[in-house]
Amino acid sequence: MKNVLIITYLISLILFSVSGCHQDYIKWELPENAMLRLGKGMIYDLKHSPNDDLIAVATSIGIWLYDADTGKEIRLLRKHIYEVHPPIYDASLAFSPNSKMLASYGPDGIHLWEPHTGRHLFTLIESEGNNLVFFPDGRTLASASDKIIKLWDITNRTISKTLTGHTKITSFAVSPDGKTIVSRSIFQGKKALYWWDVETGRTMFSQQNVDAASPIIFSPNGEILACVGDDFTWNRANDDFIWDLKIYLLDGSNGEFLKRLRGHNKNITTLAFSPDSKMLVGSGQENIIHLWDSHSGQHIHMFSGHTSSVRALSFSSDNKTLVSGSDDGTVRFWDTTTKQQRLNISGHWRGIDALAFSADSKTLISGITDATIHKWDIETGQLTSTLVGRYGERILAFHVGKDLFACRSSYFEEDNEKIIIRSIDTGNKYTSIDIENFPDATGTTFSQDGETLVFATKEKVKYWKIFPSRLSFEFVPHENVEYCNNLKLEFSKRYTDRTDPWVVGFFESIHSQRVHTLASSPDSKLLAIYTDIHIKDEGSLWKFGTNEFIRLYRLHPKISFEGRALAFSNDSKVLAIGDGWDIGLIEVDTGNLITTLSIPRHNGSHFVRALAFSPNGKILASGSEDGPILIWDLEKIMRNR
Going by C-beta distance under 8 Å and a sequence separation of 6 or more, which residues neighbour residue 508?
none
Share of the chain above pLDDT 90, in %: 54
CA nearest neighbour of 406 among 384, 358, 438, 376: 438
The H-or-E segment that residue 254 falls in is: none
Helices and strands: H and E segment counts in the chain: 4, 52
Could you tell me which residue, 100 or 188, shows the higher pLDDT?
Answer: 100
Omega within 30 of 0 (cis) for the link into 557:
no
- Beta carbons of 529 and 540 less than 8 angstroms apart: yes
Answer yes or no: CATH 3.20.20.80 is held by domain 352-639: no
- Beta carbons of 169 and 185 less than 8 angstroms apart: yes
Res 391: pLDDT: 77
Share of the chain above pLDDT 70, in %: 82
pLDDT tens digits for range 222-250: 999 999 876 655 555 555 555 567 899 99
DSSP, collapsed to helix, strand or coil, labels residue 323 as: strand
Res 380: pLDDT: 92
pLDDT band at 554 (very low <50, low <70, confident <90, very high): low
Res 70: pLDDT: 94
Going by C-beta distance under 8 Å and a sequence separation of 6 or more, which residues neighbour residue 113?
63, 77, 79, 101, 102, 103, 104, 119, 120, 121
Q: Report the alpha-carbon distance of residue 92 to residue 84 in Å, rounded.
A: 7
pLDDT tens digits for range 126-162: 656 668 899 999 999 999 877 889 999 999 999 999 9
pLDDT tens digits for range 279-337: 999 998 888 999 999 999 999 999 999 988 999 999 999 999 999 999 999 999 999 99
With 50 as the cut, is the pLDDT of residue 456 above it? yes
Q: Please list, residue by residue across 416-434, b when 16 or more beta carbons sit within 10 angstroms of its beta carbon and e when fewer do.
A: eebbbbbebeebeeeebbe
Q: Report the alpha-carbon distance of residue 224 to residue 297 in Å, rounded.
A: 12
pLDDT tens digits for range 496-542: 776 777 667 667 767 777 787 899 999 999 999 988 764 555 689 99
- Beta carbons of 536 and 460 less than 8 angstroms apart: no
With 50 as the cut, is the pLDDT of residue 20 above it? no
pTM here is 0.86
Please, where in the chain does CATH 2.130.10.10 lie?
Answer: 38-164, 352-639
- Beta carbons of 362 and 356 less than 8 angstroms apart: no
Res 270: pLDDT: 92
pLDDT tens digits for range 179-203: 999 988 876 667 788 999 999 999 9
Res 288: pLDDT: 93
Backbone angles phi, psi at 313, to 5 degrees: -135, 145
pLDDT tens digits for range 28-79: 988 899 999 999 988 989 999 999 999 999 988 889 999 999 999 999 998 7
For the four alpha carbons of 448, 533, 483 and 557, in that order, the dihedral sign comes to positive
Q: Which CATH number is 38-164 given?
A: 2.130.10.10
